[in-house]
Structure 1
Amino acid sequence: MGVITISRQIGSEGTFIAKRVAEQLGLSFIDKEDIEKVMHAYGFSAFEEVYNTRPGFWERFDLQRSVTIDFLLSTMRSFAKVGNVVLLGRGGFGLFQGYTDILNVRLKAPLAVRLERKQREYGGTDEHARKALIEQELIRTSFVQTDLQYNQNDASLFDLVVDTAIVPPETASLWICDAYQQLMKKPRIDAKHVRADLVVDDVLLKLVKTMLGDSGS
């Protein structure tokens, strides 16, 4: 029982790969929508606004923003505590550094390739696609680097970094599955923690277990 976190650049086929990995390994796929359900259940209706906007200087010190982000991290810890999940995005790679049973993966691709993929998916002009992708990427980068203070461009924070312009998404999925299975058989020797060490709120954990269909204690 373990966890895979997948960090990805927009247009690197991260969602497709994460879902495929979860299906192949029999794990639960967790993305922003699943995390939102938990946060909304606790009254954090502003999560979407916090995640999808770049804060100004003073907004970074806003108490409600800080409380929302703290609860986001608590929610992710709860999903990881239950285990057997693929966590897509939300800076999971930074939150779960040094765990013997958590695999951290980064997916990337050159901008030109990612632009072509998104334009093929949504249409529009080259310039419109470029502006939309760059703006989305700036917002994501701001959230991860400014709010969470993690650096997704630091390759040392990942167990596996894959360029999906070179490695087809189907092959990348197989690589991630194999790496996960190897980690489960032979835990990393330099890890200081296991998922069992995670401290989470019992009520929150129960809600997450219910969402995942885990009725165990």
Structure 2
Amino acid sequence: MGVITISRQFGCAANEIAAKVAEALGYEVVDKELLAHVAAEAQASEEEVAKYDEASLSPIERFLRALVKFATPEEALTWSPGPLKETPFWLPTREQWQREGGKVLDHEECLKFTQMALKKLAQKGRVIIIGRGGMVVLKDFPGALHVRLFAPLDWRVKRLSQLENIPPEKAKQKIIAEDKRRAEYLRHFYGVDWNDPSLYHMVLNVAALGIDLTAQIIVSAAKELQSSVLSSGCGVQEGGAEP
């Protein structure tokens, strides 16, 4: 049991913060790269998949891989792995996909897979989900803590410029473009403004709080929320379904 979703502006150290929270709570982190990796494996042959060492995968990777391969009959009514053979999960632009010789994207199929995966992960519990509209998909999930991370643009520009060793102007352009892409994703698929504070339990300024304190606040809030859910008896058992 226990789910945390993190929505973040680009350059807010979300992955670093999530890693600290996960270590403190014994959770695992799921981000778009991991989900994309699992989705990509859905189009591999059994021989190719057999080349991977299953024992080297994290529990979350094994769970998601099984989810892709063994959907229940109910889920099969709304989603099947077939479209993933033609559609990459990470949603490149139509132009990028066509340049690489692919077919026109079916974004709706990608969205169905994302939603199914997030809900299954939430039922499994003990996960931190970064991005992908988790705060919308799991808005009514018992015990889910929804967090928004932000920081002033100049702080993010300085940090990204140092991390990637790129000029500040290039870092600024990258941040603005990525923020726009994320905002448009949520607006297009879910009809929400990612800056709407009502979508979250907490909105934290990483620049003002610092990375360590931000992580500590999330850990404390998650513990308190889980304690409240358990005492009220309205939680979801790990690996089970909502009552």
Interval containing the TM-score (normalised by the shorter chain) = 0.7 to 0.9
Structure 1 residue 194: Cα displacement: 4.8
Q: Which has the larger radius of gyration?
A: 2
Cα distance in 1, alignment partners of residues 200 and 212 from structure 2: 20
8 Å CA contact 1:98–1:193 kept in 2: the answer is: no
- Which runs of 4 or more aligned residues in structure 1 lie more than 6 Å from their structure 2 counterparts after TM superposition? none
Distance of 2:211 and 2:161 partners within structure 1? 18
Q: CA deviation at 1:135?
A: 1.1
Kindly, what percent of the aligned residue pairs are identical? Answer: 30
Give the counterpart of 1:90 among 104, 122, 132. Answer: 132
Of residues 171, 177, 181, the one that matches 1:129 is 171
Q: Does 1:33 align with 2:33?
A: yes
What SS does the corresponding residue of 1:119 show, helix, strand or coil?
Answer: helix
**C-alpha distance in 1 between matches for 2:37 and 2:198:** 32
**Alpha-carbon deviations, 1:56-86, whole Å to 9, x = none?**
xxxxxx7711111111111111111111111
**Could you list the runs of 5+ residues in structure 2 that have no partner in the other structure?**
44-83, 96-103
Match of 2:6 in 1: 6
Contact preservation (8 Å) 2:5, 2:128:
yes
| 1:70 partner amino acid | K
- RMSD of Structure 2 on Structure 1 (CA): 2.6
Do residues 187 (structure 1) and 229 (structure 2) align? Answer: yes
User: Match of 1:101?
Assistant: 143
CA offsets per residue over residues 34-68 of structure 1, 9 Å max, x none?
211332233425122x1x4489xxxxxx7711111
Contact 1:53 1:139 in 2 (8 A): no
Match of 1:155 among 162, 184, 197: 197
**Structure 2 SS opposite 1:6:** strand
* Alpha carbons 1:4, 1:180 under 8 Å: kept: yes
Q: 1:119 touches 1:126 (CA, 8 Å); kept in 2? A: yes
TM-score, length basis structure 1: 0.79
Q: Deviations over 1:76-104 (max 9, x none)?
A: 11111111111111110111112221110
Cα deviations by residue, 1:137-196 (Å, 9 ceiling, x for unpaired)? 11111112212333221111111110011101100111100000001111299xx98575
Structure 1 residues not aligned, in runs of 5+: 56-61, 200-217
TM-score w.r.t. length of structure 2: 0.71
Number of corresponding residues: 190
How far apart, in 1, do the equivalents of 2:105 and 2:169 lie? Answer: 37
The answer for the alignment partner of 2:159 in structure 1 is 117
Q: 1:156 to 1:139 in 2, by over 3 A?
A: same
**Most deviating of 4-13 and 62-71:** 62-71
CA distance in 2: counterparts of 1:40 and 1:96, whole angstroms: 24
CA 74–186 in structure 1, closer or farther in 2 if over 3 Å, else same: same
Structure-2 change in CA distance of 1:84 and 1:175 (3 Å): same
Larger displacement relative to structure 2 (180-189 or 23-32): 180-189
